[in-house]
Amino acid sequence: MTLDYVALGIFIAVALIIFYGIIVIHDIPYEIAKKRNHPHQDAIHYAGWVSLFTLHVLWPLLWIWATLWREDRGWGIQQIAQEQHDIQHHMAQLNNQIDELRQEIAVLKTANNPHSQQEEQ
C-alpha cells in the first residue's frame, strides 16, 4: 500500500513538472521579447498561450518574431537601407576620384611627352 502512495506521489510530481515545464518553455519567446524591449511583448505572450492549444504550431514563429527585434536597430530594415545608401554614395565619390585621377594622368602624360604633341600636329 505504501508503494502505491509513493508511485502516486511520483506520478503527480512528474505530471506537474511536465505541465509547468511546457508552460515555461512556451514563455521563452515572451522572455526574449521582454529582454529585448520588444514593442509586441503582449502579443507574443498571448500567442504563446494560444500556441499551447494549437499543438505548438505557432511557437517557432513566435521565437523568430521575438528575436527579430533589437532595441538598438529596431527591425533592422531602415538601417540596411541607410547602409546601402551610404555605400552607393561612397562608391559615387570613389568613381569621381578615379575620373579625376585619370584626367590628371592624361595631363601629366601629355606634359611629359613633348614628342607626342609634335607628332600630333
- Among 22, 21, 48, 23, smallest CA distance to 34 is for 48
Residues 80 and 60 in one domain: no
Percent of the residues in the chain that have a pLDDT greater than 90, as a whole number: 66
Its domain, for residue 49, covers: 1-74
Residues 66 and 111 in one domain: no
Residues 6 or more apart in contact with residue 34 via CB below 8 angstroms: 41
How far apart CA 27 and CA 16 sit, in angstroms, is 17
Residues 27 and 86 in one domain: no
Residues 6 or more apart in contact with residue 58 via CB below 8 angstroms: 47, 48, 50, 51
Residues 6 and 58 in one domain: yes
The DSSP call for residue 71 is: T
For the ranges 30-44, 45-59, 71-85, 101-115, the one whose mean pLDDT is highest: 30-44
How far apart CA 108 and CA 121 sit, in angstroms, is 18
* DSSP H helices in 27-76: 28-35, 41-53, 59-68
The DSSP call for residue 113 is: -
**Number of structural domains the chain divides into:** 2
Helix (H, G, I), strand (E, B) or coil at 75: coil
Between 48 and 85, residue with greater pLDDT: 48
pTM value is 0.58
Residues 68 and 19 in one domain: yes
Between 77 and 55, residue with greater pLDDT: 55
